[in-house]
Amino acid sequence: MYRTTHADGSDTLIAAEAEVPASAASLAQEALRTVGARLLNLGLALTIFALCWTVLAAALRRDIMPYPWQVLPVFVSEMRGDLWDHTVASAARVLKATVLATLIATPVGLGLGQIRVLNRIFSPLIGLVHPIPKIVFLPVILVIMGIGETSKVFLIALILFFQILVVVRDEAASLRPELIQSVRSLGAGRRALFRFVYLPASLPAVLTALRVSVGTAIAVLFIAEQYSTRQGLGYYIVTLTWQRLRFEKMYAGILAMSLLGLILYLAVDALERVVGRWRHAGEG
């Protein structure tokens, strides 16, 4: 409602009925513009990728580098058969490892961020182990856990664990002291702080760490699936296609693994933007 004054001095109240719908419409338009911009960027990136691929294939002129239009029909055909099963197996391993690493690393990181004594004790160990490429532990993991599914999931989870742990610990430790004191003044204990302060504040950091770690997880998955398995994109690319000189099918497997990484990245990025919407409030 707002008041308008006429020439004779009388006032009239007028209902501002269009304000709320206009606001909702502007939010919808902003969301559509954001989605449109992201799709445009993705389309541009795919176009540049296809052009670079075509130029490289034309320059080499060898069977090892077929043209994109030679690979795409094979990709579609293979996805209707065995390639789909291998993609599902790889996706399942990555998802299992992601869930396992997140469930363990998040509370551990929050605990280290809250309790400074524990952080001082374990920080040197984390600083020593974190920079080491975890793929070097593959032979040890295979010996201890066997050559089955568990060892491959554990290796990927081990990499994601340290990525999430460090980010969550630093995020929890960087919370402003006055915020913690204000919540404690309301009678909140350590459990309430964990649930209502540390966890919500660190969740965007967890998703950011996952988004950054997706590429590493896919790379480790490719290496792990080359050993003692008959399921997965790594096995498909190396054993079933590359070693048998089936180059079109090999590139179809590479496309499948690339799409798996891209889908996981976009899914985590979208979830991070929803959970941490306040961080992107000022973005255009």
- Among candidate residues 165, 170, 160, the one with its CA nearest the CA of residue 201: 170
Task: Output the CA torsion sign for 238, 240, 241, 243.
Answer: positive
pLDDT, tens digit, 9 for 90 and up, residues 106-126: 889 888 887 889 889 998 998
What is the CATH code for 65-280?
1.10.3720.10
pTM beyond 0.95: the answer is no
Looking up tokens 């008959």, which residue turns up? 230
The Cα 271–Cα 267 span in angstroms is 6
Residues 6+ apart with CB under 8 A from 276: 203, 204, 207, 208
The Cα 95–Cα 99 span in angstroms is 6
Q: What is the reported pLDDT for 154? A: 93
Looking up tokens 């991070």, which residue turns up? 272
pLDDT, tens digit, 9 for 90 and up, residues 21-60: 446 667 667 767 777 777 888 889 889 999 999 999 999 8
Residues 6+ apart with CB under 8 A from 34: none
What residue segments make up the domains of the chain, in order of their start? 1-61, 65-280
